[in-house]
Every structure is written in structure tokens, then in C-alpha cells.
Amino acid sequence: MGDDARRVVLPAADWASAVAAELVARLSDRPALRICLPTGETPGPVYAALVAAACDGRVSFDRATLVMLDAWVGLPPGDPARCDVRLRAELVDRLPRPPAAFIAIDVDGPDPDAAADRHDAAAARLDLAILGLGPNGHVGFNEPGSRPDDPTRLVRLAASSREAAVARYGATRVPTAGITIGLRRLLGAEEAWLLVTGERKASILRRCLEDPVGPDRPASWLRRHPRLTVFADEGAASLLPRG
């Protein structure tokens, strides 16, 4: 196990449709997949391509279970930056037939630690974990310092993550914390995909894939996964070794 991830590098214009096509193929073979899904700028075009495929009858999510990867804590219901709001708006509520289940994270209840424990149970059996790469090497809200045995938990967010909620996603307030599926569950998924686009991610992607594995770049722990695929566009892969 380790350092033998499948790397798929695609032109930016083809990247989203190619990733969506691979997921369509997975669902065609296994309609009842349990899939962990992220939010953020990177997966948005993939979700648009999946909605188009579902509307055209090329795929259905009606037997699939969709599990949220992470969620901000401290944002009010309906806030545009909330991960459940974004995932519903970009994918779940646009599907012509709803998924068998959409498992969100309860960030509105009185006990976020209990909510994290419940979501850890929901993430105990994932067929496919789809993940993005943060600019500081985080995956989900597994910020620098995270370890491969970390469970789903309430976390203190890095300053860059808190600021992104407002600056990039339009949050009405700065979130206080986050809940994330931990690396233990992500590494335990049957298969993992890391989605990375843009030249601004080139340096951190190179460090995560080529430098020694360690907690300063939590996404580097994914190299321990026996079935990791990295889907990168040419900009994100521009600093990786050729071939």
C-alpha cells in the first residue's frame, strides 16, 4: 500500500466531463453506491455534468446514498456557504429522481460532538470517497496536524478555512468550527478520488504526492489508500514529474 496512486491528468476543458463520466460508469455498475461528496469550487463543474447526465437518462442516483464530507459550524440555516445548502443546490435538488438517501451533518443541534459521532457511524462504510484538496493540504476539514487514525469529529478550523467561508462562499458570518469525516473513515473507503484543478493548487499537489507523507499536509496520508485516483487538470499537475 502507498505511493502507487493512479494519476489522471486532463485538459481543463475536458476535466469535469471526464470525472463525471467515470462516476456515471461506477453507478451503472453499482447503482447502490455509498458516496462521500465534498463541496467547494472544484467539484461544482462535475456536479453540473452529473445533473446533465441524470436529466438525459444516462445515470440515476435513485439507489445511491450520498454522504456529506464536512460542514461549517456556526452558520445559520439557509446560509449560502453551508455545505448542505451548496450540495443540495448544485446536485441533490437538481436530480430528476432523488438519491435513496442524502446524509447531511447536523450542525444545528445542541451537541456538535454527538452529531460528529452520528456522522462517523454513517461514514463507517463508504464505497467511494470523493475529495478536494485545500490550499494548505487539508482534505475535508482535516486541517494540518490531522492524523490517519482521526475519527469524524468537531475541529478547529485554520484561519484560511474560516476566511474562505466569507470571502469565497458568501457566508453571512465567520464559522466558529467545522465537523469533518476523519481520515480513518476516508482511508477505510473502498475507493478514494482526489479532485484538483488550477495552477494555484500545483505546488500543494506536488508536495502532497511527492514529498514525505506527514500531518503538515493531511491529504498526503491518502497515499496510503490502496485505491486512490488523483484527477488533476493540466494546471494542477504542472509541477508533477512527467510520466
Q: How many CB atoms lie within 10 A of CB 53?
A: 18
**pTM, whole model, 2 decimals?**
0.96
Within a domain: 231: no
From the candidates 143, 150, 225, 233, give the one annotated as an active-site residue: 143
From the candidates 138, 142, 150, 225, give the one annotated as an active-site residue: 138
Within a domain: 242: no
Report the number of distinct structural domains present in the chain.
Answer: 1
Within a domain: 225: no
pLDDT of 1 reads 42
Within a domain: 188: yes
Residue 87, judged by CB atoms within 10 A of its CB (0-12, 13-18, 19+), counts as buried
HSE-CB at 38 with a 13 A cutoff on CA atoms is 25
Segment 65-88 shows an average pLDDT of 96
Return the amino acid letter for 152.
Answer: T
* pLDDT at residue 130 greater than cutoff 80: yes
* pLDDT at residue 117 greater than cutoff 90: yes
Within a domain: 159: yes
From the candidates 22, 106, 117, 136, give the one annotated as an active-site residue: 136
Active-site residue 111, yes or no? no
* pLDDT at residue 2 greater than cutoff 80: no
Query: CATH number for the domain including 58?
Result: 3.40.50.1360
Within a domain: 240: no
* pLDDT at residue 225 greater than cutoff 80: yes
pLDDT of 243 reads 63
pLDDT tens string 179-217: 999 999 999 999 999 999 999 999 999 999 999 999 999
Within a domain: 24: yes
From the candidates 70, 79, 150, 233, give the one annotated as an active-site residue: 70
Of residues 229, 208, 227, 214, the one with CA closest to residue 148: 214
- Greatest C-alpha distance within the chain: 51
Domain that holds residue 91: 14-211
Active-site residue 70, yes or no? yes
Within a domain: 241: no
Instruction: Measure the CA–CA gap between 243 and 232, rounded to whole angstroms.
Output: 14
Taking the CA atoms of residue 124, residue 125, residue 131 and residue 134 in that order, the dihedral angle to the nearest 10 degrees is: 10
